[in-house]
Amino acid sequence: MEPEHEPLISPREALRELSKRLREGWGLEYVKRSAPHAPSTASASASSAPRRSEPAVAPRAPAPLPPAPDAPLPEREKALQGIAREIQSCRACRLCEKRKQAVPGEGPADARVAFVGEGPGYDEDRSGRPFVGAAGQLLTAIIERGMGLERSSVWIGNTVKCRPPGNRNPEPDEIQACEPFLRRQLDIVRPAVIVTLGRFATQLLTGRSEGILGLRGKVYQVPASWEVAGTPVVPTVHPSFLLRSPEYKPQCWEDIKLAMKTIGLESRRDGPPRGEGSPT
């Protein structure tokens, strides 16, 4: 009895034809079109059913075109809100499986200063807002008491938008899955300076591979591959690190003053602020 699906071409014939076409300069395109099919041994009902392969992660719809840099502020705010909705329903990596909710980020579309951290923690996972736990209280003190800005006037986000289980470090593929969101958000906001909090945000937004203590204290630029290429980046330690190692607060304050100087803001303090959640 003949097999249910006859091979289109035998392996030997395929190799002979491939060698001939390579000699004739056809290239390798033929391989994709004429690879031999093995005969099916499944039953008629099983073999006739279409095969379905589930992707490891849900495919992401093409991103809408961003508003022009000089678009009216309401249009840019609306675009940020649209990205936030995409993030809240995103299933592009494993972090979506255990999150309570995603944390898109917050702040106005015309913020001059942007802070980019690592990822949401316990409190952020439950509130849906970035930097609301103890580390967030310290960041708020830095912004308001140190820089003299309202927290609501700066943009705050993270490298990954969902909490890594147990507050572990984000994996490279998780950072890669969230990177398009961060790119689009920064492209809309177009801040005058970006302060990166910790190693992961700093490496992503500078293209460098050193640790945060080796990178802090200097001004870098966003790499050319980003839409906001050339934007000044000032790295500093993550506020959660300061809660564990308060002796680094003076270095963090120097970094914040450097960021302010970069865009012409004057410091209102000589030393680092002490806010809620901040060690005394």
The reply to whether 18 falls in a domain is no
Question: In the block, which residue shows the tokens 């073999």?
Answer: 47
Question: What's the whole-number average pLDDT of the chain?
Answer: 83
Q: So what's the pLDDT on residue 107?
A: 98
77: tokens are: 């705010």
pLDDT at 31 over 60: no
Residue 142's domain is classified under what CATH number? Answer: 3.40.470.10
Whether residue 162 contacts residue 102, with contact meaning beta carbons closer than 8 Å, is answered with: yes
Question: In the block, which residue shows the tokens 């990596």?
Answer: 93
Q: How far apart are CA 210 and CA 202, in angstroms?
A: 9
What does DSSP assign to residue 66?
A: P
pLDDT at 65 over 90: no
Q: So what's the pLDDT on residue 48?
A: 44
C-alpha torsion angle, residues 256, 261, 267, 272 (rounded to 10): 20
The reply to whether 165 falls in a domain is yes
Q: So what's the pLDDT on residue 270?
A: 64
pLDDT at 73 over 60: yes
Residue 38: how many other CB atoms lie within 10 Å: 9
Residues 67-87: what's their mean pLDDT?
A: 93
Confidence of residue 56 (pLDDT cuts 50, 70, 90): very low
Write the pLDDT tens digit of every residue in 148-180. 999 999 999 999 999 999 999 999 999 999 999
Q: Of residues 53 and 240, which shows the higher confidence score? A: 240
The reply to whether 26 falls in a domain is no
Q: How far apart are CA 12 and CA 152, in angstroms?
A: 69
Describe the crossing of helices 172-189 and 73-88 by its angle, rounded to 10 degrees. 160
Q: So what's the pLDDT on residue 67?
A: 84
Write the pLDDT tens digit of every residue in 92-144. 999 999 999 999 999 999 999 999 999 999 999 999 999 999 999 999 999 99
Nearest CA to 118 out of 204, 192, 189 is that of 204
List, in sequence order, every residue forming a beta bridge with 158; answer none if it has no partner: 117
The helix (run of H) or strand (run of E) holding residue 201 is helix 199-206
Q: So what's the pLDDT on residue 254?
A: 98
Q: So what's the pLDDT on residue 4?
A: 43
Question: In the block, which residue shows the tokens 């200097």?
Answer: 218
The reply to whether 30 falls in a domain is no
Confidence of residue 50 (pLDDT cuts 50, 70, 90): very low
CA-angle at 169, arms to 146 and 92, nearest 5°: 105
The reply to whether 140 falls in a domain is yes
The reply to whether 228 falls in a domain is yes
Q: Of residues 44 and 194, which shows the higher confidence score? A: 194
Strands 232-236 and 193-197: parallel
Whether residue 194 contacts residue 232, with contact meaning beta carbons closer than 8 Å, is answered with: yes
What is the 3 state secondary structure string of 103-138? CCCECCCCCCEEEEECCCCHHHHHHCCCCCCHHHHH
56-60, 97-101, 224-228, 262-266, range with the lowest pLDDT: 56-60
Phi, psi of 3 (to 5 degrees): -65, 155
At residue 7, the 3 state secondary structure works out as coil
The reply to whether 12 falls in a domain is no
Cα dihedral sign for 42, 46, 51, 57?
negative
pLDDT at 38 over 50: no
The reply to whether 147 falls in a domain is yes
pLDDT at 22 over 90: no
Q: What's the domain count of the chain?
A: 1
Q: So what's the pLDDT on residue 70?
A: 82
Nearest CA to 175 out of 155, 199, 156, 194 is that of 199
Q: Of residues 150 and 280, which shows the higher confidence score? A: 150
Residues 250-271: what's their mean pLDDT?
A: 90
pLDDT at 232 over 70: yes
Q: Which residue range(s) make up the domain with 199?
A: 73-262
Question: In the block, which residue shows the tokens 């450097």?
Answer: 258
Residues 252-274: what's their mean pLDDT?
A: 86
At residue 158, the 3 state secondary structure works out as strand
